[in-house]
Amino acid sequence: MSGAARTSAVRVGLVYPELLGTYGDRGNAVVLVNRCLWRGIDAELVEVAAGSPIPASLDVYLFGGGEDDPQTMAAAGMRASRGAIQAARDNGAVVLAVCAGFQLIGERYVDAGGEVLDGIGLVDAVTTAGSPRLIGEVVVEPDPSLDLGMLTGFENHGGRTKLGPGTKPLGRVVTGGGNGVDGVDGALGNRLVGTYLHGPVLPRNPELADRLLSWIVGDLAPLDSPFEEQLREERIDAALATGFARWRQTRHLARG
By the 10 Å C-beta count (0-12 exposed, 13-18 middle, 19+ buried), 29 is classed as buried
Q: Answer whether 36's CB lies under 8 Å from 73's CB.
A: no
Residues 59, 11 contacting (CB under 8 angstroms): yes
Q: 147 with 207: CB under 8 angstroms?
A: no
Rounded Cα gap, residues 255 and 251, in angstroms: 6
Q: Catalytic amino acids?
A: 99, 198
Q: Tell me the three-class secondary structure of 152-192, residue by residue.
A: EEEEEEEEEEEECCCCECCEEEEECCCCCCCCEECEEECCE
How far apart (Å, rounded) are the C-alpha atoms in residues 233 and 80? 41
Coil vs helix vs strand at 41: coil
